[in-house]
């Protein structure tokens, strides 16, 4: 599995079904019949990954929307994307 860096471009997989529940998002990976839940920030990341984006571009967008510094955002987003990658919910380009 390729490593994710700030320059890596990622996009969400289209096979995943998602439905909002309040501020959260419930997702079903139809390929593996597995459910996932995301909080409001994870939901925002998922929404932004509808189109391919680099991790740097993703963080720049999130920093403008949330009260987070660049280093914390990059660290947290990279860790989150690694989890999504391990669950095969995103594609690395």
On whether residue 2 sits in a domain, the answer given is no
The number of domains in the chain is 1
- What's the pLDDT at 3? 85
**What are the tens digits of pLDDT across the range 20-60?**
999 999 999 999 999 999 999 999 999 999 999 999 999 99
* Cβ within 8 Å of residue 33, ≥6 positions away: none
Question: What CATH number did the domain enclosing 34 receive?
Answer: 1.10.10.1150
On whether residue 67 sits in a domain, the answer given is yes
How many Cα atoms occupy the beta-carbon half-sphere of 53 within 13 Å? 19
User: pTM, whole model, 2 decimals?
Assistant: 0.91
**Domain, as residue range, for 87:** 10-92
On whether residue 33 sits in a domain, the answer given is yes
Residue with tokens 């660049």: 70
On whether residue 39 sits in a domain, the answer given is yes
Distance CA 61, CA 81 (A): 15
């Amino acid at each position: 599995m390729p490593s994710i860096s700030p320059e890596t471009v990622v996009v969400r997989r289209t096979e995943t079904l998602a439905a909002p529940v309040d501020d959260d998002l419930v997702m079903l990976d139809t390929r593996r019949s597995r459910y996932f839940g995301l909080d409001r920030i994870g939901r925002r990341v998922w929404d932004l990954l509808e189109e391919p984006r680099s991790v740097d571009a993703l963080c720049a967008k999130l920093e403008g929307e949330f009260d987070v510094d660049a280093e914390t955002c990059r660290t947290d987003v990279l860790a989150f994307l690694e989890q999504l990658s391990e669950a095969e919910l995103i594609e690395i380009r």
